[in-house]
Amino acid sequence: MAQTTVKHIQSNAYTSAMASGLIINGPSPDGFIHVTFWREGMRLTEEQFEQELFHHEGVQVAKMTPQGNTVEHFREDVSTMIIPVPKLSEFCDALCKMRDALGKAEQARDLIMAQDLHVAAADPAAS
């Protein structure tokens, strides 16, 4: 078996961000599936306060009590993957294998944690 090294480099446009959802579009006329990842956000756009001014020995203090605010909810596109239609099946298979492996890893973790809790409950002096 031959050993191969693949060097990974990042383009200047590379970014890493967390997504909370995705949308799949396509195929486009040029034969691509577009998978766009987005995240939900909330932006405070305006705050209202009731303000009281106090003066004491030349010092002015403002007491501001919040009275409400205006919030804007939005979805921000994080990235778009463009997949050629002939590669979609391979891409989906890879994602499903990753999902299945993650499920097995979570089951193993939960089993180990349950065993640790069982041992700790049986022998309080051990913890």
Q: What is the pLDDT of residues 71-113, one digit of tens each?
A: 899 999 999 999 999 999 999 999 999 999 999 999 999 999 9
Distance, in Å, from the CA atom of 59 to the CA atom of 84, rounded to the nearest integer, reads 68
Distance, in Å, from the CA atom of 116 to the CA atom of 108, rounded to the nearest integer, reads 12
Q: What are phi and psi of 2, to 5 degrees?
A: -90, 145
Residue 38 is predicted with a pLDDT of 93
Distance, in Å, from the CA atom of 36 to the CA atom of 76, rounded to the nearest integer, reads 10
CB atoms within 10 A of CB 78: 17
Residue 31 is predicted with a pLDDT of 97
Residue 35 is predicted with a pLDDT of 95
Q: Return the domain boundaries, the chain.
A: 21-126
Q: Which residue has the higher pLDDT, 7 or 93?
A: 93
Residue 46 is predicted with a pLDDT of 86
Place of tokens 């700790």: 120
